[in-house]
Amino acid sequence: MEFSFGDPLFSAVQQLMDLPDKLERQLNAPTRAYVRDRRAMANTPMDAKELPSGVIVVTPGLKNKIK
pTM of the predicted protein model: 0.35
Query: What pLDDT score was predicted for residue 14?
Result: 72
pLDDT at 40: 82
Task: Say what the pLDDT of residue 53 is.
Answer: 92
User: Which amino acid is residue 54, in one-letter code?
Assistant: G
Q: What is the pLDDT of residue 61?
A: 72
DSSP 11-65: HHHHHHHS--HHHHHHHTHHHHHHHHHHHHHHT---EEEEETTEEEEE-TT--TT
Q: Which of the residues in the chain have pLDDT under 50?
A: 1
